[in-house]
Amino acid sequence: MVTFSSANQSYSSSTHCISIYQSLITDLGQKALVINNYEAFCKIAVVRIADTFQVDHVRIWQVGSDGQSLYQVVNYGFSPVAKIKNINIESYPPLKQILNHEHSVLTEEIYQGFYENHPTPLPDNSISGVSVPIISESQVILGLLEIYSQVERKFTTNEIHCLQSISYLLTNLFDRQIKSNLEQIQSTILAEVADGKEIKSIYNHLCLLLEKILPNAYCSILIRDPQENKLKAGAVPNVPVEYAQGIDGLMIGECSGSCGTAAYRGEAVFVNDIATDPVWVNFKDFALDHNIRACWSSPFLSKTGEVLGTFAISHTTPCYPTSYHLAILKMATHLASIATENSGYTMNLEKEIAEKNQALQALNKIQTQLIQSEKLSSLGQLSAGIVHEINNPMSCIVGNLPYVHDYIQTLLNVISIYEKNYPQYTSEIASELEDLDLDFIKSDLVNIINSMTDSTQRIQDISHSMLTFARADNQQKVFYNLHEGLDSTLLILKHRLKNQGNRPAIQVFKDYGNIPNFKCFPGQINQVFMNLLTNSLDAIESFSSRKLHQITVKTSVNSDRSAILITIQDTGIGMSEEVKRHLFEYSYTTKEVGKGTGLGLSISQQIIVEKHDGEITCSSTMGEGTSFMIRLPI
């Protein structure tokens, strides 16, 4: 990130409370959970940022598919004349350095002056500002978040941290938007395949849909002609016309461009600069004449492994593929394979429908995993921020309470000495003491200090539980105390255990056994505990007329010490046999609209079974309650 100013004078925002920026992060974080459209979220974000930071201009850029250009997503405060849709980095050398793979993080050294070396066009009358990169987990820059002010000011550390947090939210939502786009494209193409649309129409539509999410890229499909050993045009919707005509009939073989070589080798070929890659030695001039500088091609195969054709992504500048491009290549070749075989090569209608159903099931699974990941990521970020804000003032209170206690005790002792040595009060002191009730104050002050000490300890316990529950998972499993996870979840849900007016308090009985630390993904396991305990609370609240309101949590190790057993039992309304049959199905819920997504138990089963090789079962009787049993192999 870079901050800049045109003068030595600075503007201090120390008068702004940190809570203002935390409130902005929290508000946008909540909106990011419910808004699935990246551009729609950005439109809200720029307005909120401008209002909170009191700046004149806010702008969000997205890096093009070629990594060599910026496309403006949204802006705030720019006049129609000043709006710029895209930037070619060749015109902005500092921006070229930023987007270069060797400079994926903005640094102060890149710019020496605000006006002379600024990486993007400046708004009129801007004097100071901040540029924050939007960076993926793999450290690839996805875009830029910029704010500008028409007054001289120095942006504080808290303000910059706030912008970095918003950048993190944008990264998460951008990734979610990408995955959502791919899911929608896949569903659309599979539906067209099932409807029996003409094959070239499907190819063309697939390329057009992908080009919409790949700014400044060409997508093309070539079909293999086995008799002539050539590749013929299947779909080249936006490729330059003369270039499209030239590759129609491309020979399959080594050094036949990216597509001809990929079809020959039966594997993907990535050419990042056609001008220098030997794969294009025979066609280099032809491609360069039509401004094609990079081409990544992957073959799509039949069920028997035969090459059916190739799918390619091309750019007008030399560039490198990202994980996003690899995911698109994989999905596109998969869809092209299904569509091609369905059109009459090897698949019959029954196999096509089975393939479609399998793909839709896979999409449901991916969507469930994305929801799970987003919940954990967002909850972890929000919890960490909230706990941080609580702990700072709380540390001050906890550290000073012992001194307050000692000072009060000293003052009370002094008062006692005065009373002993001067038993006769003046009329003024006697009158004041009569109204003051000094004896009560002496006894109650100690009680107040003790109560404040207990309350601060309670807040610290809650903070610790929030961090324990929402802890981030590593790439690998770690050893974890499951009892800590259960206790932190119960503490977070404590407000729901209290007397609610329409029902008495819910009692929780913990029967913890001597179990070892378990190697797992702690955040995911805690989410399972939260889902199961929340369902138990819902079941009890919907059966409030019953006198018994209890939840029992039991842990143990089985007889041969090969597995940990966890049971969560409630005295709720119970379930019918029909409900139990569909319990772990995706999106199945018995709750009213708006009160349940049907994802909690589906996600829990995936976490236990697929991520931890365990088992989760349920036994329930209508009117008596429900018991969930988890078995985790040690």
Q: pLDDT, tens digit, for every residue of 438-464?
A: 777 777 787 787 778 777 776 766 666
Same domain, residue pair 329 and 217: yes
Cα dihedral 181, 187, 189, 191 sign: negative
Residue in the block written with tokens 């009191």: 54
Sorting pLDDT into bands at 50, 70 and 90, what band is 98?
low
pLDDT of 319 = 87
Q: Is the pLDDT of residue 282 over 90?
A: no
pLDDT of 50 = 93
Residue that terminates a domain, selected from 439, 469, 499: 469
Q: Going by C-beta distance under 8 Å and a sequence separation of 6 or more, which residues neighbour residue 257?
A: 247, 250, 279, 280, 282, 283, 287, 295, 297
pLDDT of 120 = 75
- Residue 355 in domain: no
Same domain, residue pair 465 and 484: no
- Residue 398 in domain: yes
What do you get for the CA distance between the two ends of the chain, in Å? 45
Percent of the chain with pLDDT over 90: 28
Contact status, residue 327 vs residue 182, Cβ threshold 8 Å: yes
**Separation between Cα atoms, residue 366 and residue 370, nearest integer Å:** 6
- Show the tokens assigned to 567: 């049971």
Nearest-CA neighbor of 67 among 131, 119, 176, 141? Answer: 141
Sorting pLDDT into bands at 50, 70 and 90, what band is 109?
very low
Residue that terminates a domain, selected from 469, 499, 519: 469
Q: From residue 329, give the alpha-carbon distance in Å to each of 214, 335, 567.
A: 12, 10, 45
Tell me the CATH number at 580: 3.30.565.10
pLDDT of 562 = 92
Greater confidence (155 vs 188) lies with 188
Per-residue pLDDT averaged across 143-147, rounded?
A: 88
Percent of the chain with pLDDT over 70: 79
pLDDT of 34 = 82
pLDDT of 342 = 82
Sorting pLDDT into bands at 50, 70 and 90, what band is 295?
very high
Nearest-CA neighbor of 144 among 124, 163, 157? Answer: 163
Q: pLDDT, tens digit, for every residue of 593-616?
A: 445 545 568 888 888 998 889 999
Q: Is the pLDDT of residue 54 over 60?
A: yes
C-alpha 62: how far from chain center? 18
**Separation between Cα atoms, residue 21 and residue 365, nearest integer Å:** 36
Same domain, residue pair 126 and 265: no
**Separation between Cα atoms, residue 70 and residue 99, nearest integer Å:** 10
Same domain, residue pair 152 and 6: yes
Same domain, residue pair 463 and 484: no
Sorting pLDDT into bands at 50, 70 and 90, what band is 521?
confident
Greater confidence (339 vs 94) lies with 339
- Residue 233 in domain: yes
- Show the tokens assigned to 141: 């820059």
Same domain, residue pair 422 and 392: yes
Per-residue pLDDT averaged across 414-437, rounded?
A: 77
Residue that terminates a domain, selected from 281, 313, 347: 347
**Separation between Cα atoms, residue 150 and residue 125, nearest integer Å:** 6
pLDDT of 194 = 87
pLDDT of 382 = 54
Same domain, residue pair 54 and 23: yes
Contact status, residue 135 vs residue 105, Cβ threshold 8 Å: yes
Same domain, residue pair 38 and 147: yes
- Residue 176 in domain: no
Q: Is the pLDDT of residue 520 over 80?
A: yes
Sorting pLDDT into bands at 50, 70 and 90, what band is 333?
very high
Beta strand extents in 433-517 (DSSP E only): 478-480, 507-511
Same domain, residue pair 213 and 317: yes
Q: Is the pLDDT of residue 108 over 50?
A: no
Sorting pLDDT into bands at 50, 70 and 90, what band is 97?
low
Same domain, residue pair 38 and 144: yes
**Separation between Cα atoms, residue 538 and residue 541, nearest integer Å:** 5
Same domain, residue pair 16 and 109: yes
- Show the tokens assigned to 74: 């949204």
Range of the domain at 109: 2-171
Tell me the CATH number at 114: 3.30.450.40
Same domain, residue pair 152 and 210: no
- Residue 179 in domain: no
Greater confidence (111 vs 389) lies with 389
Sorting pLDDT into bands at 50, 70 and 90, what band is 60?
very high
Instruction: Name the domain count of the chain.
Output: 4
Query: Of the given ranges (102-106, 294-298, 388-392), which has the lowest mean pLDDT?
Result: 102-106
Average pLDDT over the chain, rounded to whole? 80
Contact status, residue 128 vs residue 11, Cβ threshold 8 Å: yes
- Residue 360 in domain: no
- Cβ-in-10-Å burial (0-12, 13-18, 19+) of 330 comes to middle
Per-residue pLDDT averaged across 134-158, rounded?
A: 83
In single-letter form, the type of residue at position 58 comes to: V
| pTM, two decimal places | 0.49
C-alpha 319: how far from chain center? 27
**Separation between Cα atoms, residue 376 and residue 241, nearest integer Å:** 48
pLDDT of 440 = 76
- Residue 183 in domain: no
- Show the tokens assigned to 619: 């036994």
Per-residue pLDDT averaged across 407-435, rounded?
A: 79
Q: From residue 98, give the alpha-carbon distance in Å to each of 1, 257, 272, 460.
A: 10, 30, 19, 42
What is the three-class DSSP state of 576?
coil
pLDDT of 427 = 77
- Residue 600 in domain: yes
